[in-house]
Structure 1
Amino acid sequence: MAKPLVTCLWFDGQAEEAAKYYCTVFKDSKITQVTPMVVTFELNGNKFMGLNGGPQFKFDEAISLMVNCDSQEEIDYYWDTFLNDGGAESVCGWLKDKFGLSWQIVPSNIGELMATPERAKRVMDVVMKMKKLDMKKMEEA
């Protein structure tokens, strides 16, 4: 039987702080283990391990976590929470949190909005002008 995948996130001594923070952002979350080297936690049923790995590696945009949102209010909540707590916005629904981890805050229906090449082009034309995504404008494209 295949075991579920666990995402390992490398921190410079901030693994427990990060896990506690993420558990406040995502309501269905919990820390499952804390040791000096690793913290294991779950966010909305997804398993993570925070590793206190040291300063050798930093997060970059080559990896991001995507949050699928069912409403504009949800998009606003995640976007504003990450930014107000020390994050930095980027473009097209991407931002970095205060730990430098990249997130994509997107509508749950993004696949439907991009289902055909013609519509995907119209949606992307709108998205390329945004930082925080506007569901209504994307759906109208």
Structure 2
Amino acid sequence: MAVAKNTICLWYDSEAEAAARFYAATFPDSAVTGVHLAPGDYPAGKAGDVLTVAFTVLGIPCLGLNGGKAFTHSEAFSFQVSTEDQAETDRYWNAIVGNGGQESACGWCRDRWGISWQITPRVLMEALAAGGGEASRAFAAMMEMGKIDVAAIERARRG
């Protein structure tokens, strides 16, 4: 079994496997690569429960840990997903929010397990990187949005 040198570990109450399977079904280059049962009882569960789930999200190795209610997620950690167009932006945003997630501001949303996602169209990142008035206009437009509207960002870039 190959083990990645660096893996993101995400703490879940008890639904790491459901989360991993949702990510694998939603994003390309994503998969569940292992489900591991607890060899003994632990504070949040008992022997035989799913303890960890190995998975990838967009090629990034992750480990879901069913650790119980001791810790919760915050926006201090998020996955940023670069999208090519409005259709791809809508697809990911709608999948996350439509599966019990929550909308937030400026392209952010949260899945039903509490993980934050930035669904960020490439055109927005390019506008911000351009600097000057183009960046200022795109930034102001973004600040008024939940899900990013690609056409509105393109209009803001042009002034």
Superposed CA RMSD: 1.4
Indicate the SS of the match to 1:86.
coil
**Secondary structure class of the residue paired with 2:28:** coil
1:126 and 2:141 correspond: yes
| Aligned position for 2:28 | 27
**Where does structure 1 differ by over 6 angstroms across 4 or more consecutive aligned residues?**
none
Q: Give 3-state SS (helix, strand or coil) of 2:14's partner.
A: coil
Instruction: State TM-score, norm by structure 1.
Output: 0.92
1:123 partner amino acid: A
Matched residue count: 139
- Deviation per CA, 1:87-121: give whole Å up to 9, x if none: 11011101111111110001123332112132221
Measure, in 2, the Cα distance between the counterparts of 1:80 and 1:130: 15
The one of 59, 80, 83 equivalent to 1:69 is: 83
Structure 2 unaligned blocks of 5 or more: 38-50
The separation in 2 between residues aligned to 1:91 and 1:111, in whole angstroms, is 16
**Correspondence for 1:5:** 6
Alignment partners' CA distance in 2, 1:6 and 1:119: 37
Q: What are the superposed Cα offsets for residues 68-103 of structure 1, whole Å, 9 maximum, x if unpaired?
A: 000100000011111111111011101111111110
**Partners of 1:79 and 1:19 in 2: how far apart?**
17
Unaligned runs of 5+ in 1: none
Q: Larger C-alpha radius of gyration, 1 or 2?
A: 2
**Structure 1 residue aligned with 2:106:** 92
Q: TM-score, normalised by structure 2?
A: 0.82
The residue aligned with 1:18 is 19
1:4: how far off?
A: 4.7
1:136 maps onto 2:151 in alignment = yes
CA distance in 1, matches of 2:141, 2:123: 15
